[in-house]
Amino acid sequence: MSELFNSLTIPFLLAMFLAITMGGSGTAPSFSAAYGANVLKRSLIPGLFGIMVLAGALIAGKEVSLTLGNGLLEQSFFTPLNTSVILLSIGLSVLIASLLGVPQSTSQSTVLSIAGAASALDGLNTQKLFVEIIPTWIILPIISFFLMFLLSNYVLPLIKNKIITDDYSHLNKHKGIKALLILSCLYVAFSIGANNVANAAAPIASLTANEIGQESVQNFLPLTILSVLVVAPCFAIGSSLFGHQVTKTTGKKIVEVSPIYATIIAVIVASLLVFASVVKGIPTSLVQLNGAAFIALSVSKNGFKTTFSNKIVKRFFLVWAIAPLFAYLLTWSLITLLQK
């Protein structure tokens, strides 16, 4: 028993570290809308975020956990050493992005980190990665962008009223809209739990199954639930430590949002993520779905040239490109070196 405990300690600590960094990064797509609209106190965000993340992981996170725990790399390859390297690479890539004030896709970093390990171990499921996962990463942000662009240009102008303004002082007269905005942000946090908790929980669930024995594979779901219960509370810790700066960047520095627009953005991106989680079981970037919707709103208000010359938008695209590649190369390099 002590030997099992020793072999699991470091991977579990790294998974908790990763969850903390994900909590910082994931707070932005959850609550940047409400924060940008000034309808939710900063002090309330970490607790609400943590509760909804846990609920999403337990209710709707099964399929994504199976994809990350066995779909890209066979479960047998999740040894203590390999799992530790994977989790460390993901955590470092996301932490760097959080310190830069940019919400980063933990799902993409996780997938490419596992892919890096699988490449080094000659166990990569290329069908899953190149046919199912990567096309989803391309298609869903495009859908998010065009849905928000069409709504903001052609639908919402037809129902102009006091609700659709950039002045938030009237919200006290529209308690229903304020409540709807907060509920939509909670919905986003739930969708993060459904998709992103598996980034940390699935590798350690697979590792635990390997360490206990092959018969535990039949009970992989209970192991995943146990891993989720360890990992999910760390999201709230990360939200407290890193969430404010990232939320401020997304909620206030790309485009000012009215309550109705903020609510629509939240519903669009959360629905797309829940679809990817429950129907497809594919780890997907909510921060990119969220960023695409904010960029679409900025384009509709300020035009393409002004939007894409925004230094924050440029930084987003740069970090989104580099961080997952960094996770892949770091994992591949470390595992290749350790094998030799």
Residues belonging to the chain: 340
The angle at the Cα of 26, spanning 163 to 73, to the nearest 5 degrees, equals 135
Of the candidates 198, 213, 195, 211, the one whose C-alpha atom is nearest the C-alpha of residue 82 is 211
What type of residue sits at position 269?
Answer: V
Whole-number pLDDT of residue 271: 94
Q: Is pLDDT of 64 > 70?
A: yes
Whole-number pLDDT of residue 220: 64
Whole-number pLDDT of residue 219: 61
Using CA of residue 117, residue 121, residue 123, residue 124, what is the dihedral sign? positive
Q: Is pLDDT of 10 > 70?
A: yes
Among 44-58, 234-248, 313-327, the range of highest mean pLDDT: 44-58
Whole-number pLDDT of residue 266: 84
CA gap 194, 109 in Å, rounded: 17
Position 144 confidence tier, pLDDT thresholds 50, 70, 90 = very high
Whole-number pLDDT of residue 256: 61
Q: Is pLDDT of 297 > 90?
A: no
Of the candidates 51, 37, 30, the one whose C-alpha atom is nearest the C-alpha of residue 266 is 30
Q: Please name the residues in contact with 188: beta carbons below 8 A apart, sequence gap of 6 or more.
A: 29, 30, 31, 33, 266, 269, 270, 273, 286, 290
Whole-number pLDDT of residue 334: 93
β strands within 145-232, DSSP E: none
Whole-number pLDDT of residue 320: 76
Q: Is pLDDT of 260 > 70?
A: yes
Whole-number pLDDT of residue 243: 60
CA gap 340, 336 in Å, rounded: 6
Q: Is pLDDT of 275 > 90?
A: yes
The better pLDDT of the pair 219, 58 is held by 58
pLDDT, tens only, 170-186: 565 667 777 888 888 89
Q: Are 177 and 258 in contact (CB under 8 A)?
A: no
Position 119 confidence tier, pLDDT thresholds 50, 70, 90 = very high
Whole-number pLDDT of residue 103: 63
The better pLDDT of the pair 236, 104 is held by 236
Position 268 confidence tier, pLDDT thresholds 50, 70, 90 = very high
Q: Torsion angle of alpha carbons 210, 55, 44, 23, nearest 10°?
A: 30
CA gap 174, 36 in Å, rounded: 17
Position 94 confidence tier, pLDDT thresholds 50, 70, 90 = confident
CA gap 30, 270 in Å, rounded: 9
Kindly list the distances between the CA atom of residue 54 and the CA atoms of 57, 186, 201, 233, 236, in Å, as whole numbers in the listed order: 5, 12, 12, 7, 10
* Mean pLDDT score of the chain: 81
CA gap 52, 71 in Å, rounded: 26
Q: Is pLDDT of 50 > 70?
A: yes
Kindly list the distances between the CA atom of residue 151 and the CA atoms of 75, 276, 303, in Å, as whole numbers in the listed order: 43, 22, 15
